[in-house]
Structure 1
Amino acid sequence: MNFSSFEPKTLTVLVVDDERNLRLLLCRAMETEGYQVQEASSGESCLALCEQHLPDLILLDAVMPDLDGFACCNQLQARLADRCPPILMITALSDCESVDRAFAAGAIDFVTKPIQWPVLRRRVQRILQTHQAMTELRQLRAQVKALQEAASPQTPETYIT
């Protein structure tokens, strides 16, 4: 695994928040860190964007009208399964039930508002590095499996006649 290949400019962060000003601040913060940024103002638009192009990370507000972040997270997990990008839930909710609900829905981390920008910056970096390492590990496992299958002697029923 090559952590030195971690390049923010090649990674996309999807910012989902119904509050326009906070969404713009989050977008600006991610752009300042060198990430490509997409934005959505609702859970529904988040789902639609993810069908077109999967981001590397989703910053998802928990409290939104119509489809809240918890339901959106559940739907992303159900639709995308192993392909689902990591989701960092961002919310003013800080009670135990909301935190548990976010993780149960599939969020990988949880940040409360008001946002502590240095904390968010480091969490985003850590999540993306971990996600990249896990992706590389899955690819290496698939390569090893393919090599093992190619090297193993074929049994008589696998020969083509």
Structure 2
Amino acid sequence: MYSKEEIKKGKERFWTRFGQYLSVIPSAEGEKINWVNYKTGIKHLFFRMDADQYQGVIMIEMANPDAGIRELQFETFKTYKKIFEETVGEDWVWEKEFVDAYGKATTRIYKELKGVNLYNEQDWPELISFFKPRLLALDDFWTTAKYGFSIFK
């Protein structure tokens, strides 16, 4: 079991290192980007990464408080599903209804890596190798798809 302080410091160290590692890589449009805090430009629509002592996960999260808007966003993503799958090169889980640990309803599209521990530095290369290509693929996908989401701005 990890203390709250160990969890906080472990996450800070990993995400700082990950951000530094990716800082030299431009976005698909050739711009400097904060990869750890990716901005989609759409309110309540996020590209998120998370890890803990059990897994790493990368996701597109639709967190609009209005369930109808979340559903419309999800349907819009479904119209781009073929492009998405070609860009990321693998199947992701498409979850229309998800309730997070805080009781907040969201919709998400995600990929998990099980059996890694963020707090074990020996697992960091595997986590980075998991997150990096998928985040770059999400960015590449978003350069095409973002125009279809402009109605949600």
Higher strand share: 2
* Fold-level similarity (TM above 0.5): no
Higher helix share: 1
In the superposition, the TM-score normalised over structure 2's length comes to 0.38
Q: Which has the larger radius of gyration?
A: 1
